[in-house]
């Protein structure tokens, strides 16, 4: 594979990770704005708001790491295998942040089954989680594609 192809794939992976972090930040901001007004018990509201703030924090850290990585790539201080490792770590960090919503979604679903006034909050969180998982899947696939190409080059 030509070096230009490797760089193009790496840029695509970086763009996918950035898009995922942007999506995560947007979804977190939407949850933080909508949930204080949604019908929820206070304990569950506090949990969802806390997890949403965690999403926003994780997205910010990934954006910072991406900027650092791009600077290092531009300065010739990070090669493609190193970039793939770091992008994979960013993918994992975003997945970890979204995974914290699994138990919250279950709690919201149970609350919505008991009382339909809680259904809008459940739908809001489940839809945001779905959007974020799609972004993570795209970022992970792009990162893995670069890693697979690098592995094939070494073989």
pLDDT tens readout for residues 91-103: 999 999 999 988 8
What letter would DSSP give residue 100? T
For residue 99, what are the contacts with CB-CB under 8 A and spacing of at least 6? Answer: none
For residue 23, what are the contacts with CB-CB under 8 A and spacing of at least 6? Answer: 131, 132, 135
Domain encompassing residue 123: 3-150
* Domain-embedded: residue 121: yes
* Domain-embedded: residue 155: no
Whole-number pLDDT of residue 144: 92
* Domain-embedded: residue 107: yes
Give how many domains the chain has, as a whole number: 1
Q: Which has the closest alpha carbon to 56: 37, 79, 39, 32?
A: 32
CATH number of 35's domain? 1.20.120
**DSSP codes, 37-80:** GS---HHHHHHHHHHHHHHHHHHHHHHHHHHHHHHHHHTT-S-H
* Domain-embedded: residue 122: yes
Mean pLDDT score of the chain, rounded to an integer? 90
Whole-number pLDDT of residue 2: 63
Enter the tokens of residue 124: 């809001």
């Amino acid at each position: 594979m030509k070096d230009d192809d490797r760089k193009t794939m790496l840029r695509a992976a970086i763009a996918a990770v950035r898009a995922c972090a942007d999506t995560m930040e947007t979804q977190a901001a939407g949850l933080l704005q909508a949930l204080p007004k949604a019908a929820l018990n206070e304990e569950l509201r506090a949990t969802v708001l806390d997890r949403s703030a965690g999403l926003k924090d994780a997205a910010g850290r990934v954006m910072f790491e991406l900027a650092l990585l791009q600077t290092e790539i531009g300065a010739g201080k990070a090669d493609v295998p190193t970039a793939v490792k770091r992008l994979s770590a960013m993918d994992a960090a975003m997945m970890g942040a979204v995974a914290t919503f699994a138990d919250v979604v279950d709690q919201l679903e149970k609350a919505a089954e008991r009382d339909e006034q809680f259904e809008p909050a459940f739908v809001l969180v489940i839809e945001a989680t779905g959007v974020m998982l799609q972004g993570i899947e795209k970022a992970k696939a792009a990162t893995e594609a670069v890693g697979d190409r690098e592995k094939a080059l070494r073989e």
